[in-house]
């Protein structure tokens, strides 16, 4: 079992719709969870971090965390063509251990 | 504020050669981590340094080494290059009281 798993996609969503990206992780003691956006040929860009169960909203982005189910998701509302990218889920297992463990990423395409 | 900077941006080497990649963290950040990203995969953790000390090492051979300098900049060295070392090498910096890591633009290494 991979440490961090994502639906690989590709995921296609019409412009203006909600894009839903999912991630599961295997290490129950994981404490910190991140979503990075990576455009083709570029480096990952941090868009959301979440540490507690529940929802965290930032503009059009909402991260959701359920530690009991070992599940974290990212919702993108009012999707725009500029949201087309690969989204990487990353996990840190313990405070003090800064190693980010990444999933393979979900490629998202927003259709105008 | 300037973000994480890396040099060079692109590099072409032949098998068996040595390479040195450089990284300067965001001003005020004392922690630097290195990651390798091959095409179609998420970044893989190589090293973490904090206050010039190695704090973590990923599952990479001894051909890979790194160090951090008093000004918190860092170098990643790879000896005896193999074709499989071709990848995007990413440097990430972190403010010591938070877990969020911010990536530089990366160095694209091609080994022929």
Residue B45 C-alpha from the chain's centroid: 9
**pLDDT at residue B97 in the model:** 65
The torsion angles phi and psi of B81, rounded to 5 degrees, stand at: -55, 140
Look at A98 and B33 and tell me if their CB atoms are within 8 Å.
yes
Q: What token pair was written down for A29?
A: 């003691």
Reported as a single tens digit per residue, the pLDDT across A11-45 is 999 999 999 999 999 988 888 999 999 999 999 99
Reported as a single tens digit per residue, the pLDDT across B14-45 is 999 999 999 999 999 999 999 999 999 999 99
**pLDDT at residue A35 in the model:** 98
Q: Cis bond leading into A10, ω under 30°?
A: yes
Given a cut of 80, whether residue A110 has pLDDT beyond it is yes
Reported as a single tens digit per residue, the pLDDT across B53-107 is 998 999 999 999 999 999 999 999 999 999 999 999 999 999 876 779 999 999 9
Coil, helix or strand at residue B59? coil
Q: Pick the residue of B99, B103, B108, B110 with the most A CBs within 10 A to test the interface with A by mutation.
A: B99
> How many C-beta atoms surround the C-beta of residue A70 within 10 A?
16
**pLDDT at residue A31 in the model:** 84
Q: Could you tell me if residue B9 is left (phi over 0), alpha (psi between -120 and 50 degrees) or otherwise beta?
A: alpha
At which residue do the structure tokens 């998701």 appear?
A: A73
Chain A residues 1-40 with CB within 8 Å of chain B: 4, 32, 34, 36
Q: Name the DSSP class of A99.
A: -
Q: What token pair was written down for B76?
A: 């990643």
Give the ranges where chain A is alpha helix by DSSP (H).
Answer: none
**Which CA distances in Å does A108 have to A38, A47, B40, B87?**
10, 15, 14, 22
């Amino acid at each position: 079992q991979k440490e961090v798993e994502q639906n690989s996609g590709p995921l296609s969503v019409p412009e203006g719709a909600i894009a839903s990206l999912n991630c599961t992780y295997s290490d129950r003691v994981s404490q910190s969870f991140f979503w990075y956006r990576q455009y083709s040929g570029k480096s990952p860009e941090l868009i959301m971090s979440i540490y507690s169960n529940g929802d965290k909203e930032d503009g059009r982005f909402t991260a959701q965390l359920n530690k009991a189910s070992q599940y974290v998701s990212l919702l993108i509302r009012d999707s725009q063509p500029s949201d087309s990218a690969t989204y990487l889920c990353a996990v840190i297992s313990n405070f003090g251990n800064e190693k980010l463990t990444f999933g393979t990423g979900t490629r998202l395409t927003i259709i105008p | 504020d300037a973000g994480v900077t890396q040099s060079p941006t692109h590099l072409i080497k032949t098998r068996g050669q040595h390479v040195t990649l450089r990284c300067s963290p965001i001003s005020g950040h004392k922690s630097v981590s290195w990651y390798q990203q091959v095409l179609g995969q998420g970044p893989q953790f190589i090293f973490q340094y904090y206050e010039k000390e190695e704090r973590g090492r990923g599952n990479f051979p001894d051909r890979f080494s790194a160090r951090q300098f008093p000004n918190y900049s860092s170098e990643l060295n790879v000896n005896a290059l193999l074709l499989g070392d071709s990848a995007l090498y990413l440097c990430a910096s972190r403010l010591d009281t938070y877990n969020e890591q911010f990536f530089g633009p990366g160095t694209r290494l091609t080994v022929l």
